[in-house]
Amino acid sequence: MACRAIFGWRDYADWGVMTQSLAALRRRTIAVGLAGGLSLALAGCGMSSITSGLGGGMFGSSKPNMADSAGGVSEEQLLSAAKADGSSAGPTVTGGINPGCPRLIAKPGDNNITFYEPGRTGDGLAIMHRGEITKTARECHIDAGRITVKYGFSGRVLLGPRGQNGTVTLPINVTVTDGSNTKVAADAMKIDVAVALDNPIGYFSAVREVTFPIAEGSRPGEYELFVAFDRSKTPGSG
């Protein structure tokens, strides 16, 4: 179900901007109007594809692009990019297409996950937390018919109307497919993110490597990496 169909709010276009404003509101009056204010904050949960590539030279972003000045994909760069993007309105720009390196893609719908109170899945006022992948990057190394992709991603966890202090565990899958959409490799991980009532946005980043063979006659750019939240590992999520 589309995010707007669940929530039914149309007055605001960007969750991140509203959530940052909400941080100040929480500090002033946590007990007053929490559910209503956060309900408005959850409105703009649709995001565009956010593929980018440090190996290709730039982060995709609605803010000024960041060049790969540090010489590679790193958790620090990705985390900084996610934090910088937290206050920007509008979708993240796609990019990072490079025929010498597989694309890294977080599709709309796969780049977010919402956690609800037990038994209230789909209820906007029962949202506890929401995770979002907002930045990706990758670089490649080819050797003897095999390609190694060092890939990374970053994002944030937002506190919902029923959220509490604690740690949110994000289950994430990465799948590699060839030009015929056949899976050739996979990776899986869990990322823990801390959030609190007085600090309702938590950020995360991760960098991993995956190696797979290149079929004879194929080009690296024909392969794709897909990063997605695994909702099957979190009952009651959406």
What is the SS3 assignment for 21? helix
**Alpha carbon separation from 205 to 18, 147, 190 (Å, rounded):** 22, 23, 11
The model's pLDDT over 184-214, given as tens digits with 9 standing for 90+, comes to 999 999 999 999 999 999 999 999 999 999 9
159/157 Cα distance (integer angstroms): 7
Nearest Cα residue to 116 out of 7, 5, 226, 227: 7
Structural domains for the chain? 48-233 (2.60.40.10)
Average pLDDT over residues 63-67: 29
Which pTM was predicted? Answer: 0.66
The model's pLDDT over 133-174, given as tens digits with 9 standing for 90+, comes to 999 999 999 998 999 999 999 999 999 999 999 999 999 999
Nearest Cα residue to 200 out of 65, 18, 14: 18
Mean pLDDT of the chain: 73
The model's pLDDT over 86-138, given as tens digits with 9 standing for 90+, comes to 544 333 333 356 778 999 999 888 999 999 999 999 999 999 999 999 999 99
CB-side neighbour CA atoms (13 Å) of 77: 24
